[in-house]
Structures are given as structure tokens and as C-alpha cells.
């Protein structure tokens, strides 16, 4: 079975028993999230947090599914601020559209798309 990222189930990226959609996502968890949590900088984190961009509804008697944005990591820092993190290799047109919808619906949230550049992570 292949995922939308063309990664077979046998090739799933795992760390601490958690399967990730990509190697980059696993590395961000391992190299950024866990060390900051261990140091007490991140006090809470959630993987694959879902945000409703448009609720589901009915049209002409048919159900229309909700539109959601699922981030890779939702981080809460000790100072109370939060970050919505998505690890990106390449942003699809659908991802760009959902990003716009997210920024409109959740203006108080700090949405960051990050990618690995060499040994460092940068906003993209």
C-alpha cells in the first residue's frame, strides 16, 4: 500500500514507536521537538492536530464533508505562546489554499512551514 507521499507502509518513518509521513517530519520531531520538550521550553505538544476550516454541511440532501487543516506539530511553549508547524518538502496547490484559509480562520495562531536546509531548519 502506498501513501499520498509514495512511501510504502514498510518504509514508514518511525521514531519512539510513532510513524511519520516523511523522514523530514520524523527528524523534526527527533531533533527539535523532543530536545525542546526535554529542556522544558516546550510544555505540551500534539501531533497531527486538526483544525476545521469549513464545517461540513448538507446541499441538495447530500452531505458535504468539512474542510480541515491537519498540522504536523502543535507546540505550546513555557511562555504560553503556541506554534502550528508543518514540515514541507514542496507545497501543493491544495496546501497553499488551506494555508490561506487557516490564516483567515485562525489569525491568532502562529503557522510556520519549515524545511530542512543542510543541518538546520528554516521557515519556508
Q: In degrees to the nearest 10, what's the CA dihedral of 68, 42, 31, 116?
A: 50
The per-residue pLDDT for range 1-17, each reduced to its tens digit, is 445 555 555 456 888 88
What is the value of pTM for the model shown?
0.86
C-alpha cell at 58: 448538507
Q: Where are the domains of the chain?
A: 9-123
Q: So what's the pLDDT on residue 13?
A: 84
Taking 70 as the pLDDT cut, the residues of the chain under it are 1-12
Whole-number Å distance between alpha carbons of 101 and 53: 6
Sign of the CA dihedral running 15, 116, 2, 33: positive
Query: Distances from the Cα of 38 to the Cαs of 31, 75, 107, in angstroms?
Result: 11, 13, 29
Amino acid at each position: 500500500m502506498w501513501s499520498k507521499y509514495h512511501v510504502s507502509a514498510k518504509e514508514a518513518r518511525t521514531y519512539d514507536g510513532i510513524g511519520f509521513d516523511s523522514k523530514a517530519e520524523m527528524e523534526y520531531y527527533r531533533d527539535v521537538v523532543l530536545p525542546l520538550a526535554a529542556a522544558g521550553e516546550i510544555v505540551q505538544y500534539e501531533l497531527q492536530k486538526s483544525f476545521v476550516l469549513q464545517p461540513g454541511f448538507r446541499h441538495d440532501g447530500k452531505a458535504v464533508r468539512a474542510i480541515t487543516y491537519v498540522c504536523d506539530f502543535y507546540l505550546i511553549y513555557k511562555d504560553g505562546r503556541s506554534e502550528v508547524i508543518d514540515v514541507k518538502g514542496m507545497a501543493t496547490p491544495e496546501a497553499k489554499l488551506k494555508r490561506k484559509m487557516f490564516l483567515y480562520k485562525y489569525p491568532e495562531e502562529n503557522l510556520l512551514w519549515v524545511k530542512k536546509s543542510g543541518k538546520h531548519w528554516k521557515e519556508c
